[in-house]
Structure 1
Amino acid sequence: MIGRIEEQKELNRIYNRDQSDLVAVYGRRRVGKTYLVNETFRGKFTFRHTGLSPKKDVDPKTGKEEMTTMKDQLTHFHMSLQLHGAKKGTAPANWEEAFFMLEKLLMEKDNGSKQVVFFDELPWMDTKKSGFLQAFEGFYNGWCSARNNVMVIVCASASSWILNKLIRGRGGLFNRVTCQIKLSPFSLKECEEYLESQNIRFSRYDIAQSYMIFGGIPYYLGYVRGELSMAQNADKMFFNERPLLKGEYQNLFACSFEMPDRTKKVAEYLFSRNYGYTRREISEKFKDISGTDLTKILLALEESDFVIKYIPFGQGKRDIHYRLTDPYCRSYLSFIEGKGFRENFWQHNMDSSILNAWKGIAFENVCYLHFQQILKALNINGIEASQTIWNKGKDDNSEGAQIDLIISRADNVLNLCELKFYSGEFLVDAKYEEKMRTRNRLISERVSRKKVVRNTLITTYGLTRNGYSNIFTNIITLDDLFE
Structure 2
Amino acid sequence: MNTIIGRSEEQKILNRLLASGRPELIAVYGRRRVGKTYLIRALFKKEMVFEMSGIHDAALTDQLRNFSIALGKAIASPAPLAPPDNWIQAFAYLDQYLLDLLDGSRPAVLFFDEFPWIHTPRSNFLQAFDHWWNSSATKRPNLKVIICGSAASWMIDKIINNKSGLHNRVTQRIRLLPFTLGETRAYLHYLGAALDPYQLLQLYMAVGGIPYYLQTVLPGESAVQIIDRLCFDKDGVLRKEFDNLYQSLFVNAQQHEKVVRALSQKGKGLTRDEIIATCGLTSGGTTSKLLRELEESGFITPYVPFGKNTNDSIYKLSDEYSMFYLKFIEGAKATGSGSWLRKGHTPAYKSWSGFAFEAVCLKHVAQVKKALGIEGVFTEASGWRYQPLKGNAEKGTQIDLLIDRQDHCINICEMKFSEDVFVIDKNYAGDLDHKVNTFRRITRTRKTLFLTLITTYGVQPNVHTTGRVMAEVTMDALFL
Question: Which bracket does the TM-score occupy, shorter chain normalised?
Answer: over 0.9
Give the structure 2 partner of residue 70 of structure 1: 60
**CA 1:383–1:259: 2 relative to 1, 3 Å:** farther
> Helix, strand or coil: the match of 1:29?
coil
Give the structure 2 partner of residue 29 of structure 1: 32
> Helix, strand or coil: the match of 1:212?
helix
Note the C-alpha offset of 1:387. Answer: 2.5
Give the structure 2 partner of residue 82 of structure 1: 72
Query: In structure 1, which of residues 11, 14, 25 is the aligned counterpart of residue 14 of structure 2?
Result: 11
Is 1:38 paired with 2:38? no
Give the structure 1 partner of residue 348 of structure 2: 354
- Whole-angstrom CA distance in 1 between matches of 2:39 and 2:280: 40
Q: Which amino acid in 1 is paired with 2:50?
A: F
Give the structure 1 partner of residue 92 of structure 2: 100
- Whole-angstrom CA distance in 2 between matches of 1:171 and 1:329: 36
Greater shift, 406-415 or 183-192, is seen at: 406-415
Q: Considering only aligned residues, what root-mean-square deviation do their CA atoms show, in Å?
A: 1.9
- Whole-angstrom CA distance in 2 between matches of 1:155 and 1:387: 30
Query: In structure 2, which of residues 79, 92, 101 is the aligned counterpart of residue 109 of structure 1?
Result: 101
Q: Which amino acid in 1 is paired with 2:68?
A: H
Greater shift, 172-181 or 350-359, is seen at: 350-359
Is 1:276 paired with 2:269? yes
Q: Does the 8 A contact of 2:281 with 2:287 survive in 1?
A: no
Q: Which amino acid in 2 is paired with 1:309?
A: P
How many residues in Structure 1 have an aligned counterpart in Structure 2?
Answer: 470
Is 1:196 paired with 2:166? no
Q: Which amino acid in 1 is paired with 2:232?
A: F
> Helix, strand or coil: the match of 1:415?
strand
Note the C-alpha offset of 1:45. Answer: 1.1
Note the C-alpha offset of 1:28. Answer: 1.4
- Whole-angstrom CA distance in 1 between matches of 2:22 and 2:429: 63
Give the structure 2 partner of residue 477 of structure 1: 474
- Whole-angstrom CA distance in 2 between matches of 1:283 and 1:352: 32
> Helix, strand or coil: the match of 1:411?
coil
Note the C-alpha offset of 1:171. Answer: 1.6
- Structure 1: stretches of 5+ with no match in the other structure: 55-67
- Whole-angstrom CA distance in 2 between matches of 1:400 and 1:103: 65
Give the structure 2 partner of residue 219 of structure 1: 212
- Whole-angstrom CA distance in 2 between matches of 1:311 and 1:180: 24
Provide Cα deviations, 1:185-223, integer angstroms capped at 9, x if missing partner: 111111111111111111100101111001111111101
- Whole-angstrom CA distance in 1 between matches of 2:247 and 2:377: 40
Give the structure 2 partner of residue 150 of structure 1: 143
Q: Does the 8 A contact of 1:389 with 1:406 survive in 2?
A: yes
Matches for 1:83-482 after TM superposition, within 5 Å: 83-85=73-75, 88-112=80-104, 113-285=106-278, 291-313=284-306, 315-340=308-333, 342-343=335-336, 344-393=338-387, 396-470=392-466, 471-482=468-479
Q: Does the 8 A contact of 1:259 with 1:297 survive in 2?
A: no
Q: Which amino acid in 2 is paired with 1:254?
A: Q
Greater shift, 249-258 or 103-112, is seen at: 249-258
- Whole-angstrom CA distance in 2 between matches of 1:233 and 1:77: 39
- Whole-angstrom CA distance in 2 between matches of 1:223 and 1:354: 26
Matches for 1:43-54 after TM superposition, within 5 Å: 43-54=46-57
Q: Which amino acid in 2 is paired with 1:32?
A: G
**CA 1:134–1:223: 2 relative to 1, 3 Å:** same
> Helix, strand or coil: the match of 2:246?
helix
Q: Which amino acid in 2 is paired with 1:51?
A: G
> Helix, strand or coil: the match of 1:105?
helix
**CA 1:430–1:340: 2 relative to 1, 3 Å:** closer
Q: Which amino acid in 1 is paired with 2:64?
A: L
Identical positions, percent: 38
Q: Does the 8 A contact of 1:123 with 1:156 survive in 2?
A: yes
Note the C-alpha offset of 1:88. Answer: 4.2
Q: Which amino acid in 2 is paired with 1:48?
A: E
Q: Which amino acid in 2 is paired with 1:347?
A: L
> Helix, strand or coil: the match of 2:84?
coil
Provide Cα deviations, 1:418-474, integer angstroms capped at 9, x if missing partner: 111111111122232222223222112113352222211000111111222121000
- Whole-angstrom CA distance in 2 between matches of 1:333 and 1:13: 42
- Whole-angstrom CA distance in 2 between matches of 1:207 and 1:215: 10
- Whole-angstrom CA distance in 2 between matches of 1:479 and 1:287: 42
Note the C-alpha offset of 1:159. Answer: 0.9
- Whole-angstrom CA distance in 2 between matches of 1:23 and 1:414: 39
Q: Does the 8 A contact of 1:406 with 1:417 survive in 2?
A: yes
Q: Does the 8 A contact of 1:159 with 1:257 survive in 2?
A: no
**CA 1:429–1:246: 2 relative to 1, 3 Å:** closer
> Helix, strand or coil: the match of 2:248?
helix
- Structure 2: stretches of 5+ with no match in the other structure: none
**CA 1:127–1:444: 2 relative to 1, 3 Å:** same
Note the C-alpha offset of 1:278. Answer: 2.0
> Helix, strand or coil: the match of 1:256?
coil
Provide Cα deviations, 1:209-261, integer angstroms capped at 9, x if missing partner: 11100111111110111122111110111111111224321322123335433
> Helix, strand or coil: the match of 2:355?
helix
Q: Which amino acid in 2 is paired with 1:99?
A: F
- Whole-angstrom CA distance in 1 between matches of 2:248 and 2:334: 26
Q: Does the 8 A contact of 1:158 with 1:258 survive in 2?
A: no
Q: Does the 8 A contact of 2:178 with 2:211 survive in 1?
A: yes
Q: Does the 8 A contact of 2:415 with 2:453 survive in 1?
A: yes
Q: Which amino acid in 2 is paired with 1:346?
A: W
**CA 1:284–1:182: 2 relative to 1, 3 Å:** same
Q: Which amino acid in 1 is paired with 2:411?
A: N
Give the TM-score taking structure 1 as reference length: 0.92
> Helix, strand or coil: the match of 1:254?
coil
- Whole-angstrom CA distance in 1 between matches of 2:373 and 2:205: 26
Note the C-alpha offset of 1:281. Answer: 2.9
Note the C-alpha offset of 1:289. Answer: 5.4
**CA 1:340–1:69: 2 relative to 1, 3 Å:** farther
Q: Which amino acid in 1 is paired with 2:431?
A: K
- Whole-angstrom CA distance in 1 between matches of 2:19 and 2:132: 22
